[in-house]
Amino acid sequence: MSFIIKKHISLNFNNSAEIADMYRGLNVDYPKFFKMDNLSKMAFVASELLLKDTDNRFVLRDDVAVIFFNSSSSLEVDTEYQNTIKSSDNYFPSPSLFVYTLPNICAGEIAIRNKFCGETSFYVLEKFDLKRIFKITNNTLIDNNLAFALVGWVENYRDTFEVKMAIVSKQNN
């Protein structure tokens, strides 16, 4: 068995302001968006663009998976937090940096918003590895009774603000 890419998107941003601007342009009402880290915001925006015309959207579905990947996990936010605690002379720990962060939140918020109850996972790979992403996606589609999977590479570290996302479904050969 193999799969087919039904729809895909690739977005690059220069900064967090551009992500927020794109979100505002979507006219979506999701107040939790502004509590998310940039990783989650990028994934959210891309998923909204991809899923906007999907049949039965916002209906409870256990036949849809969310599978995301990156190479830095949540290192961008972790680094920001580290800066708040690195000096005892300038110690200002900020737990607010961890509100709606971590890769699992990224995938989870999209699953919650869209009522996807299938597998939700976030894999941290050494680098963008299309063969490995293909293998994991294929195995997920084979091993589960899924209509489709939302698959994406979502990377935010230092000056990288990148998301590549696709709706992928089974194709029997």
Tell me the pTM.
Answer: 0.90
Span 25-51, average pLDDT: 95
Among 26-40, 78-92, 141-155, where is mean pLDDT lowest?
78-92
Task: Report DSSP state, residue 92.
Answer: -
Instruction: Summarize the confidence of residues 140-147 as an average pLDDT.
Output: 87
pLDDT value for 75: 74
Mean pLDDT of the chain: 90
Full domain range(s) for residue 83: 2-171
Q: What are phi and psi of 164, to 5 degrees?
A: -125, 125
Structure tokens at 137: 């996606």
DSSP states along 128-144 = --HHHHHHHHHHHHHHS
Number of domains comprising the chain: 1
Query: What is residue 5's DSSP assignment?
Result: E
Please provide the size of the chain in residues.
Answer: 173
CB atoms within 10 A of CB 44: 24
- Residue 139, domain CATH: 3.40.47.10
CB 149 within 8 Å of CB 140: yes
Local confidence band at 91 (pLDDT 50, 70, 90 cut-offs): confident
Contact 21, 11 (CB under 8 A): no
